[in-house]
């Protein structure tokens, strides 16, 4: 059989092959296009999810910040109105419960039982007090002094991975521990008859039972001094009764936990820890900021009063006579 090339047959065969190639090319391009669309869609979904999560995180942090401010307003200022809405009771009632536990623990730790043994009338002008009354009064006064700090700034909020606890960092002044000690020591020195007796007083504290009474009288002075009860006595410096604050500002952390209603609350235990941390022991006696102190103003007034030194008004005479009428503590 002769070797012949069937051009017609080959032509149709080639045309068929070309159609196949063209069809496969189209299918391949379609697959690539679909793949690209799918990838774009997935990227879009991921970006959307990331945005939603970021919004959710911001919303949670805003809520934590808001509830932290409710707590700090009550603790460090006198703005306590919003506290009940978050905690279910007033700030005074909520903290009274904390103070009751602290008082009971303190009485047990210091061995101040039976109560009748340590019930004392520390001064003729004041009624006798049980250990419970003295310690509770001291803690309630400290609660009040914290409110003299007056302001704060929330610096950072971190919510843990569980979404149930958060750490809030705020910046504020603190109560000046050495300033408080200085004020109390001043009144104590007067009560025991002068600085010459201070050594004997401290030495007597080596006796365990006497030390208990010394601790109680310190608490008693703390409450009544800063409540301004000693203002009637001429030998107690009015400056000593002014709340001593730090000159510097400090960062403090608080831990909040989300409750079933979605509110972020501090526990009673963490509140007690926070109260301790708001007492600064780092600043010295030379760095005490007495709230509402007019000492420097008085000095400037004295310097500017040279021109009218010979002039005395009835009001100033009355004031000086009142001062003389005050008795010593």
Containing structural domain, residue 271 = 58-293
**Structural domain includes residue 325:** no
DSSP string, 290-302: ETT--HHHHHHHH
In this predicted model, what pLDDT tens digit does every residue of 192-232 receive, in sequence order? 999 999 999 999 999 999 999 999 999 999 999 999 999 99
pLDDT at residue 302 is higher than 50: no
Residue 301 has pLDDT above 50, yes or no: no
Domain count, the chain: 1
Please determine, for residue 173, whether its predicted confidence score (pLDDT) is greater than 60.
Answer: yes
pTM, full prediction: 0.76
Is residue 148 scored above 90 in pLDDT?
Answer: yes
Contacts of residue 291, Cβ cutoff 8 Å, sequence gap at least 6 = 148, 150, 242, 243, 244, 245
Decide: 126 and 221 in contact? Cβ < 8 Å.
no
pLDDT at residue number 293: 85
How much of the chain exceeds pLDDT 70, in percent?
73
239 falls within a domain: yes
Contacts (Cβ under 8 Å, ≥6 apart) of 112: 106, 118, 131, 212, 216
Q: Is residue 191 part of a domain?
A: yes
- Domain annotation covers residue 259: yes
CA distances from 176 to 100, 248, 263 (A): 25, 10, 32
Tell me which of 98 and 302 has the higher pLDDT. 98
Q: Which of 269, 291, 299, 248 is nearest to 144 (CA)?
A: 291
Tokens read off for 150: 């007056």
What SS3 state is found at 265?
Answer: strand
What confidence category does residue 43 fall into, taking pLDDT thresholds of 50, 70 and 90? Answer: low
Structural domain includes residue 123: yes
Domain-located, residue 38? no
Give pLDDT, residue 5.
47
Which of 7-16, 20-29, 262-271 is predicted with the least confidence, judged by mean pLDDT? 7-16
Question: CA gyration radius for the chain?
Answer: 37
Which pLDDT belongs to residue 29? 55
pLDDT recorded at residue 303 = 38
Contact between 166 and 265 (Cβ < 8 Å): no
Residue 219's DSSP bridge partners are: none
Q: What is the pLDDT of residues 102-115, one digit of tens each?
A: 999 999 999 999 99
pLDDT tens for each residue of 104-147: 999 999 999 999 999 999 999 999 999 999 999 999 999 999 99
pLDDT at 282: 97
Residue 67 — pLDDT band, cuts 50, 70, 90? Answer: very high
What is residue 176's predicted lDDT score, i.e. its pLDDT? 98
Euclidean distance between CA atoms 17 and 309, whole angstroms: 122
Does residue 302 lie in a domain region?
Answer: no
Mean pLDDT of 302-306: 39
Determine the pLDDT at residue 27.
55
Note whether residue 322 is domain-resident: no
């Amino acid at each position: 059989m002769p070797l012949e090339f069937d051009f017609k047959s080959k032509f149709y065969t080639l045309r068929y092959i070309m159609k196949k190639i063209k069809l496969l090319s189209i299918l391949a391009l379609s697959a690539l296009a679909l793949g690209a669309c799918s990838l774009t869609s997935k990227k879009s979904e991921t970006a959307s999810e990331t945005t939603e999560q970021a919004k959710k995180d911001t919303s949670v942090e805003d809520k934590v910040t808001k509830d932290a401010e409710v707590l700090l307003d009550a603790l460090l200022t006198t703005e306590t109105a919003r506290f009940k809405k978050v905690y279910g009771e007033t700030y005074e009632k909520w903290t009274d419960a904390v103070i009751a536990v602290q008082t009971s623990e303190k009485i047990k730790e210091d061995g101040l039982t039976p109560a009748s043994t340590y019930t004392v009338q520390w001064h003729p002008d004041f009624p006798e007090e049980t250990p419970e009354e003295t310690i509770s009064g001291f803690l309630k006064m400290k609660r009040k002094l914290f409110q003299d700090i007056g302001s704060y700034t929330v610096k950072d909020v971190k919510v843990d991975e569980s979404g149930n606890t958060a750490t809030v960092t705020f910046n504020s002044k603190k109560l000046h521990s050495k300033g408080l000690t200085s004020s109390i020591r001043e009144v104590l020195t007067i009560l025991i008859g002068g600085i010459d007796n201070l050594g004997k007083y401290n030495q007597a504290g080596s006796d365990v039972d006497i030390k208990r009474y010394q601790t109680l009288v310190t608490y008693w002075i703390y409450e009544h001094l800063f409540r301004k009860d000693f203002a009637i006595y001429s030998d107690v410096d009015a400056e000593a009764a002014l709340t001593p604050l730090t000159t510097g500002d400090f960062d403090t952390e608080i831990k909040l936990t989300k409750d079933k209603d979605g509110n972020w609350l501090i526990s009673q235990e963490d509140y007690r820890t926070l109260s301790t941390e708001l007492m600064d022991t780092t600043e010295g006696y030379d760095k005490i900021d007495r709230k509402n102190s007019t000492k420097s103003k008085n000095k400037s007034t004295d310097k500017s009063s040279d021109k009218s030194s010979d002039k005395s008004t009835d009001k100033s005479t009355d004031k000086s006579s009142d001062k003389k009428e005050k008795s010593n503590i």
